[in-house]
Structure 1
Amino acid sequence: MRKAGFTLVEVLIALALLVTVLAVALRYFTATAETGRLTQAKGELQDRVRMVMQVVSGDLQLAGAKYWTWGTQSVGFTLVGTLEGTDGGAKDTLTVRYVTSLREQSAACRRVDYTFSGDTLQRSDVNITPASGAECATGTPSPTPLADGILALDIQYLCSDGSAKNVPDCGASAYPRSARLTVAGYSLTPVRGGGGSLTTVSGQSLTCPANRLCYAMTQEVLMPNLKPVQ
């Protein structure tokens, strides 16, 4: 008469099946976690690049605006400079001056600067106290981090004479009509794969860091306030 229980062969077969099931389950959950991490990293990256594009575009659109209005009041200011910048390859610097009606008259003059510290894009937004009457002084930048993991803020200025410049200087007979800009960044969270390359609006080639996702946006921004008054 056979005793109750399992033979050694049956136990080994059961263990083999259990190990196989656990391995399949582990592989499934690992792949699911990696997909979730990839989706989260991609969404965060795209949101960060779009935020930078929106903020920079808004400042460029206001470049050179000189009038402050509040109800029936209207004051025209004199700006000391309107648009300045340097060509830093893929990492340009930018200084914009304008008047905004979203603040009180004493704080209407704005100076906005964009600079880089490594891969961190910095923004300075300072109030320019009028120096005398309605003349806006230059102001002193006070940069604070706007976004990390930014590979490029590349700006190409399209002049009224049809030329394209990498700095906002179109010469004495023309003015910057619009600007085409590329904002590119990489994911702050490591992911599998990644890498690759991107090209900016001025033809700069960017290498995406290993194990990072990269994303770039390019768009044109009109600057209507820079047109000279006839």
Structure 2
Amino acid sequence: MKRHGFTLVELLVALALLVTALAVGLRYFVATAETGRLTQAKGELQDRVRMVMQVVSGDLQLAGAKYWTRGTQSVGFTLVGVLLGADGGAKDTLTLRYVTSLREQNAACRRVDYTFDGDTLQRSDVNITPGSGTECLTGTPSPQALADGILALDIQYLCSDGSVKNTPDCGASAYPRSARLTVAGYSLTPVRGGGGSLTTVSGLTLTCPRDRLCYAMTQEVLMPNLKPVQ
């Protein structure tokens, strides 16, 4: 019995089917990998922005706290320059002071600073040099990187007289009752479908870098320790 091999046409058809199958499979794996990278970048970005919001909010809530307590002990300190800030557009800077009971009494007075180095948000938390008795004097900032890829730390201060300021200076007859802040950042790795724009609490429009995801959070933080003692 005479056997016949494949014809040229049959080989070409089989090759075309194989190439098509490989192309479909490759497209599927590329799409799956891109979706995974997009999901990972989005999760990392949101976690980073939430972390910054949590840390800054916690410091603002503590600003002006003056008492150190440990068991039955309670010591009141004198703080100078409790809350200072500069309007840097979308990148505000901030200096605040408070007393914490989480440290020993000789290290209870803290000075916290927030500054920017490009798109890196820096935080400094140092012990304030104690003066005579319970007076907290000053401390030298030591900035450390808190988070990269931060487009905005935009803060508005709501004063007790109803006014809204871009710095914590509410005047002689009022004090900052709370702060509204926007933290915005972008993904550290490029992804498809990035770009766009964001709006901060003070109405500033930010352009997201090309091929990067962007995410922003805005919330209000009460600052109960800034209310003057009657």
TM-score, scaled relative to structure 2? 0.99
- Deviation, 1:34, is 0.3
5+ residue gaps, structure 2, are none
Q: How many residues align?
A: 230
Match of 2:91 in 1: 91
Opposite residue 67 of structure 1, the aligned amino acid is Y
User: Are residue 49 (structure 1) and residue 72 (structure 2) matched?
Assistant: no
Q: Percent identity?
A: 89
Counterparts of residues 85-164 of structure 1 (less than 5 Å): 85-164=85-164
1:2: how far off? 4.5
Deviates more, 1:121-130 or 1:44-53: 121-130
Q: Tell me by how many angstroms 1:116 deviates.
A: 0.2
Once residues 71 and 125 of structure 1 are traced to their aligned partners in structure 2, the CA distance between those partners, rounded to angstroms, is 25
Give a deviation string over 1:136-156, Cα, whole Å, max 9, x none. Answer: 011110001000000000000
Query: 1:200-226: per-residue Cα shift (whole Å, max 9, x none)?
Result: 001111000000000000000000000
> Unpaired segments of 5 or more residues in structure 1?
none
Listed one character per residue, the Cα deviations across residues 170-196 of structure 1 (whole Å, up to 9, x for unaligned) are 000000000000000000010012110
- Paired letter, 1:199: T
Alpha-carbon distance, 1:131 to partner: 1.5
Please report how far the alpha carbon of residue 69 of structure 1 lies from its aligned counterpart in structure 2 after TM superposition: 0.1
Q: In structure 2, what is the Cα distance between the partners aligned to 1:53 and 1:177?
A: 18
CA distance in 2, matches of 1:184, 1:175: 27
Partner of 2:183: 183
Deviation, 1:15, is 0.4
SS at match of 1:88: coil
Deviations 1:40-71 (A, max 9, x none): 00000000000000000000000000000000
1:205 aligns with 2:222: no
1:11-50 matches, within 5 Å, as 11-50=11-50
Q: What CA distance in whole angstroms lies between the structure 2 residues aligned with 1:187 and 1:51?
A: 14
Q: After TM superposition, list the pairs within 5 Å mapping 1:48-87 onto structure 2.
A: 48-87=48-87
Structure 2 letter corresponding to 1:133: G
Pair 1:221 & 2:221 matched = yes
SS at match of 2:131: strand
SS at structure 2 position matched to 1:136 = coil
Tell me how far apart the structure 2 counterparts of residues 80 and 166 of structure 1 sit (CA, whole Å): 21
* Structure-1-length-normalised TM-score: 0.99
Counterpart of 2:126 in structure 1: which amino acid?
V
Rounded Cα–Cα distance in structure 2 between residues aligned with 1:5 and 1:90: 73
Point out 4+ residue stretches in structure 1 off by more than 6 angstroms. none
The Cα offsets for residues 78-131 of structure 1, whole Å up to 9 and x where unpaired, read as 001100000000000000100000000010000000000000000000011312
Q: CA deviation at 1:5?
A: 2.1
